[in-house]
Amino acid sequence: MSAPLRLMAVHAHPDDESSKGAATMARYVAEGVDVLVCTLTGGERGSILNPKMDRPEILANIAEVRRLEMERAREILGVGQRFLGFVDSGLPEDESEPLPEGCFALQPLEVAAAPLVAAVREFRPHVILTYDDDGGYPHPDHIMTNRVSVEAFEAAGDPDRYPGAGEPWQPLKLYYHMGFTKERFEALHEAMTARGIGSPYADWIARWEDRPQKWEVTTRVPCGEYFETRDKALLAHATQVDPDGFWFVCPCDLQREIWPTEDYHLARSLVDTELPEDDLFAGIHADEVSHACS
C-alpha cells in the first residue's frame, strides 16, 4: 500500500493505553503503521495505586506527574499521543455519590465527542480501538469513552455534523477491547497452577458470574513478542502500577505459550471481512487507505 495504515486508540485516562492493547500497538508500530493514542482526561482524580509512590508531593502534583508518565509510556510504545482536555470524573465509592461538576462523564455527548471528531478528521485513522458499552469495567469515564468513540466513528465522515471540525473522514472499523475474558484468565490460571506458580486469578474467576461476557471475541491479534514492551509501558505509569503487583505475576514466556494474542470485538465495519480475524486491518484495501470518505 502506498499510504501508511493508521490506527487510533481512544482511552479515558493515562495508563489505560498500556493495560489495554499496548502489545498490539507496539506490533503495528514495528510494522510501519501510524498509531495515535487519544487520552480523553488527564487522570487528575486517579488514586496512587503503587504504595512506593504514595507521597504527599506526588499527590499534590498528580496531573503533571501523570502527564510525564504518559510521555514515557508513549516513547516506549512508539506511538503518538494527545490529551483531549477533559477532567477526570473519578470513581465514586458509592454509586449514589454525585460526580464532580464539569467532569468528563457529565459532559453533553456532542461536547465530549467534538475534540475526538476533530482528531479523527485530522489523523484519519482506518481503525479505531475503544472500550465496550460497559466501559470494560463500569468507570463513568470509560463508559463515556465508549459513547464518544461510537459518536466519532459515526459522525466524522458526515460533512453535516460537527461543522468546523475539519474535512470529513470515515474510519472503516471500530473495535472493542476484549483482553479481560474469563477464557483467557482460566487458561493462564490453569497453566500457572500446573507449573507451581501462584496464580492471582482464582478470585476473579470465581466472581465472573457477576459480570457475564456481553461481546464475543472476533479478532485475536498475535503480539506475544511485544509483551515485554507492554510491561515496560505499564511500569512507566509508576503512580498507577505496582511493579510487584497483579500485572506481572504471570511470566511473559508463559503468556506467549498459553495466550499469545490480544483480543477484540469488531463492533462496526464498513468493509467486508471474514471472522474470526487475526489482523485489525483485515478487509481494508489500498484504495480505501488513500482516500477519505465523505
Annotated binding site: 13, 16, 142
Q: Residues comprising the binding site for Zn(2+)?
A: 13, 16, 142
What are the C-alpha distances in Å from 225 to residues 108, 121, 186, 188? 41, 32, 22, 17
DSSP H helices in the chain = 16-19, 22-30, 56-60, 62-77, 109-123, 140-155, 182-194, 202-206, 227-236, 252-258, 286-290
Strand partners, 266: 175
CA neighbor of 256 nearest in space, from 10, 36, 27, 35 = 27
Cell numbers describing residue 149: 468513540
Cell numbers describing residue 264: 477484540
CB 4 within 8 A of CB 211: no
CB 140 within 8 A of CB 98: no
Cell numbers describing residue 75: 516513547
Query: Kind and range of the H or E element at 30?
Result: helix 22-30
CB 146 within 8 A of CB 19: no
Q: What gap in Å lies between CA 294 and CA 286, rounded to an integer?
A: 17
Three-class SS state of 201: coil
Can you give 96-135 as a three-state secondary structure string? CCCCCCCCHHHCCHHHHHHHHHHHHHHHCCCEEEECCCCC
